[in-house]
Amino acid sequence: MTSAIISDIHGNVEALQSVLTAIDAMGITDIRCLGDIVGYGASPNECVALVRSRNIPSIAGNHDKAVTGELSIDDFSPAAKAGVEWTRSIATPETLSFLRSLPYSIQEDGVLLVHSSPDRPEDFRYLLSFQHAEESFEQLSSPLCFIGHTHRPVIYGEEGTEKEIGRNGRFIVNVGSVGQPRDGDRRACFVLFDRDAYRVTHQRVEYDIAAAQRKILDAGLPQKLADRLMIGL
């Protein structure tokens, strides 16, 4: 069976719809979400409603917990803060209660799903280099761990970055971001995990960036949040 793993939608319903359309077209029905469904983008309620209506098992991201008030935004950047505050102002009770219900991790058979890092997932550390990943491997008991949070797709093995996973050794796979990629590729990013072949592949899909930008500007959110979608950084 092949599963699709998505993360960091960030209120970008245009990107989420394109990704779900691509997943549906491949006949894949098993989907997981690694959190940050909201924050930055202008369609948080729509994104939560889509994830809920598709019964996609999800975990909590730092923006999700910031919007519910469970996490302080003192360390957030000005644009991130603005995104959280705006999202709070329009979040429906259904959105807030769904975000509150999200766990910090999901442990499946041989697979750990977290938002940020396998060690203390509720601390939301950033795994931006192999050096950071190396420390996380010390705490990783599963052979495979999927993460998001940095918005940069990458596969870490125990010796360094890798092109693919394998049945020997342990791997931490960053699935990239659906709604705000930061690796210089503006297309929405997610992962396919073929559980039988034990293979992970990053996927990219185009979406209506202009529409997502227009909504951000119409909402009065910072210009920067619209601009970065076009450059993918």
Interface with Zn ion (CB under 5 A): 8, 36
Q: How far is the CB of 174 from Zn ion (least distance, A)?
A: 11
Q: Which is nearer to Zn ion, 36 or 162 (CB)?
A: 36
**Tokens for 186?**
């503006």
Q: Which residue is nearest to Zn ion (CB)?
A: 36
H-assigned helices in the chain: 13-25, 44-53, 62-67, 78-90, 93-100, 130-137, 209-218, 223-231
Q: How far is the CB of 95 from Zn ion (least distance, A)?
A: 17
Rounded Cα–Cα distance for residues 170 and 92 (Å): 40
Q: How far is the CB of 33 from Zn ion (least distance, A)?
A: 12
The total of other beta-carbon atoms located within 10 Å of residue 74's CB is 6
Q: Which is nearer to Zn ion, 65 or 170 (CB)?
A: 65
DSSP code at position 157: -
97's CB contacts (< 8 A; 6+ apart) are none
Q: How far is the CB of 35 from Zn ion (least distance, A)?
A: 8
Q: Which is nearer to Zn ion, 14 or 36 (CB)?
A: 36
Q: Which is nearer to Zn ion, 40 or 98 (CB)?
A: 40
